[in-house]
Amino acid sequence: MDIGIIQDLAVGAHPGGADVWSDQDLSVPGVTVGAPPDEFNQLGQDWGSQPWHPERLAARRYQPLADLIAAASRSGGALRMDHVMGLCRLWWVPPGMTAAQGTYVRYDHVATVGVLAREAARAGVLAIGEDLGTVAPWIRDYLAAHGILGTSMLWFERRDDGTPLPPGDWRRNSLAAVGTHDMPPAAAFLTGEHVALRAELGVLARSAEAERAEADAALAAWRAALIREGLLAPGEHHGIAEQVAALYGYLARTPSILIGVSLPDMVGQRRPQNVPGTMQEYPNWRIPLADGEGKPVFLEDLATHAGVRAIVDAVSAPPVS
């Protein structure tokens, strides 16, 4: 592979873990990190990790951050930094408060982004930032100016009027993907199952009917965009697998220099791996790989799986002239 393994750096560590225990002066006890309410996670998110104290981090000349990035970059060709906006500001949730009652605490982004860019250059790795969710526009501009790629997720790439962003208008310096590990698989979006699941788990801030109506409108807009691009034939019934492959074909027409392909999307899985905003309510990170009918898919099955081949072909298609 030209790049090699893309390592992943989480936004924080569990308060009871070795990272926090071994450097207790650096973290802020009792406070947890998350994200404010957004269009998909309507009650906000509390990830349970403990933030670093911005003044104590500065007093140590950001060496803990440099050490962390260097260690995470050691065995790969690229580093994906989860919630990269945390280099600029983090959503702190005080003890006893809900995720929606948190507040932003700022960090010296000149120093933190500089450390990321410096350590990535020293290690010879590509830096990729997950800049999804609530993002101030200047943050993306600042990261891009320092050579840090962004992340473009299909469902959120829309114009000001809410319609799908044409593939030619996507960012070049980004990792393009249909979804992420924090979003339902494409098949769940296309069937609307993600609305029913979030309603059942109680993580919607409005009625399931209103959420479903908006989801249906968004899907209609995306299907129309796929038809305009010639990725779906007009006036026909399209199966779920065909639509998923078309979504990946859409990614292939963007100028983004990297494309992320989801294994659950390849095999037609419908259950999400993670539902942000839940802890005991859903078995996060414990969902086995399965097809659209819930049957397990094994490593040995992948080489001959029709869905895998269809998406590989979709992202490998030559550019449209």
Please state, in angstroms and rounded to a whole number, the distance separating the CA atoms of residues 216 and 117: 41
The dihedral over CA atoms of 135, 212, 178, 237, expressed in degrees to the nearest 10, equals -150
pLDDT (tens digit per residue) in 252-290: 999 999 999 999 999 999 999 999 878 789 999 999 999
- Measured between alpha carbons, how far is 267 from 296 in angstroms, rounded to an integer? 10
Q: What percent of the chain has pLDDT over 70?
A: 99
Tell me which of 277 and 53 has the higher pLDDT. 53
Q: Which residue has the higher pLDDT, 1 or 167?
A: 167
Beta bridge partners of 84: none
55-103: pLDDT as tens digits:
999 999 999 999 999 999 999 999 999 999 999 999 999 999 999 999 9
- What is the rounded CA–CA span in Å between residue 171 and residue 181? 21
Contact partners, residue 59, CB within 8 Å, separation at least 6: none
Q: How many CB atoms lie within 10 A of CB 306?
A: 12
**Closest alpha carbon to 77 in 125, 149, 9, 127:** 125
List the structure tokens of 156.
């959120």
Number of Cβ atoms within 10 Å of the Cβ of 192:
14
What residues does each domain of the chain span?
1-121, 149-321
The sheet carrying 150-153 orders its strands as 150-153, 174-177, 258-260
For residue 38, the model assigns a pLDDT of 84
pTM: 0.92
Secondary structure of 205-251 in HEC code, one letter for each residue: CCCHHHHHHHHHHHHHHHHHHHHHCCCCCCCCCCCHHHHHHHHHHHH
Of 143, 66, 144, 147, residue with least CA distance to 110: 143
**Alpha-carbon span 271 to 266, nearest angstrom:** 13
Each as own residue / partner, the long-range contacts of residues 107-115 (CB below 8 Å, 24 or more positions apart, any chain) are: 107/54, 107/57, 108/54, 108/58, 109/139, 109/142, 111/58, 111/62, 112/62, 112/65, 112/87, 112/88, 113/87, 113/88, 113/142, 113/143, 113/146, 113/148, 114/146, 115/62, 115/65, 115/66, 115/69
CB atoms within 10 A of CB 215: 17
Residue 20 has pLDDT above 60, yes or no: yes
